Amino acid sequence: MGSGLLGQALHSQVDMHAAYGGVVPELASRDHVVRLVPLIRQALGQAGLEVGDLDALAYTAGPGLAGALLVGASVGAALAFALNIPAVPIHHLEGHLLSPLLSARAPSFPYVALLVSGGHTQLMRVDGLGRYTLLGETLDDAAGEAFDKTAKLLELGYPGGPALSRLADTGTAGRFKLPRPMIGSGDLDFSFAGLKTAVLTRVRGHALGEADKADLAAEFQQAVVDVLVAKCVSAVRASDTRSLVVAGGVGANRHLRRSLVDVAARQCFEVFFPEPEFCTDNGAMIAFAGACRLAQGRYVANANLEFAVHPRWDLHAMTI
Ligand code: KG4
Ligand code: ZN
């Protein structure tokens, strides 16, 4: 059998949730039930494999919505049990942290990882599989959450991040002035809740035209990018590595990518991004983390059908 990514399939539930302006947990898990087996067939078909060719099966065990996790975990554990192969429960954030290693140009350990998703904003030092040191994190909203909430204020619909960033690319930063929260705090923590409130005070009571909205979006994006870039530079310096990797949905943001490439060239470190399709949630990164854990013998032998999901799960508290 070949090595590397042989096949992958993804179904986005964005259209289903868009009507409600956000994720509806019960709809999410019910749709998982419908989609999962056809997606597994599709990925296997792409790879030219049968289900019996699988050596192991990785699934996301947490953190996240309990219902959605349960669907993936029960299908994963049941299939592994039926095939008598190991089942490998994976931490969602570990999938993101290792996702840059899926690229042709991959970093080597150690590296600093900026993890920017809808639920997390963290800077980590990654020394190897399972060797993660938290350098700093958000004290309130995650960067993606700030994008989503601000997009809602600007009536851009769901999902907000990509829509806000598209609008920002048509506007000019600097006309509206927004703060750069904690940029000079001297540590590697973040805070994005105040930024969203600052946008709210500019939106409330004002009839903003399309051009105003675009300029406000551009300033918001610039503020988030300025803070993320400044903290990344400090983290790389403080951790004595020359590599930065960016993971998580906000890592798909083009302005953030350009800014980090520029600063890395000036400061002589290297920056690595997963392909945009591996920045947002995907199965390939979970399969990859599973393959790494399997190679190290760190899997759960599948002697029975027991499995557990962890809706709240600290990466550092991983016991598997
Ligand atoms: O990692 P991810 O797909 O899911 C979570 O685990 O949260 O990240 C989703 C987050 C959302 O908040 C979304 O708005 C944001 O990533 N996002 C973006 C962009 N694409 C996705 N934020 C800013 N610019 C983008 N281009
Ligand atoms: Zn994610």
Vertex 235, ends 232 and 238: CA angle to 5°?
A: 150
pLDDT (mean) for 106-110: 95
Question: How sure is the predictor about 298, in pLDDT bands with cuts at 50, 70 and 90?
Answer: confident
Atom of ligand 1 nearest to the CA of 247: 1
Among 114, 116, 117, which is best to mutate for testing ligand 1, by the most ligand atoms less than 8 A from CB? 117
Residue 303: the pLDDT is: 66
Cα–Cα dist 17/28, whole Å: 8
**Percent of the chain's residues with pLDDT above 90:** 86
Q: What is the pTM of this model?
A: 0.91
* Cα 186 to Cα 98, 190, 192, 230, distances in angstroms: 28, 11, 16, 11
Ligand 1 site, CB within 6 A: 117-119, 144, 147-148, 159-162, 165, 248-250, 252-253, 280-281
Q: Which residue has the CA at smallest separation from atom 26 of ligand 1? A: 253
Residue type, 247: A
Q: Which two tokens stand for residue 55?
A: 């050596």
- Measure 188 CA to ligand 2 centroid, in angstroms: 21
pLDDT at residue 184 tops 60: yes
Collapsed DSSP state (helix, strand, coil) of residue 97:
helix
CB 246 within 8 A of CB 229: no
pLDDT (mean) for 286-290: 96
Q: Tokens 């960016």 label which residue?
A: 246
pLDDT at residue 125 tops 90: yes
- Measure 162 CA to ligand 1 centroid, in angstroms: 7
What does DSSP say about strands 87-91 and 131-137: parallel, antiparallel, or unpaired?
Answer: unpaired
Residue 98: the pLDDT is: 94
Question: How sure is the predictor about 1, in pLDDT bands with cuts at 50, 70 and 90?
Answer: low
Atom of ligand 1 nearest to the CA of 92: 6
Residue 284: the pLDDT is: 97
DSSP 6: -
For every residue of 11-51, DSSP letters joined together read ---HHHHHTTTS--HHHHHHHHHHHHHHHHHHHHHHHT--G
- Measure 64 CA to ligand 1 centroid, in angstroms: 15
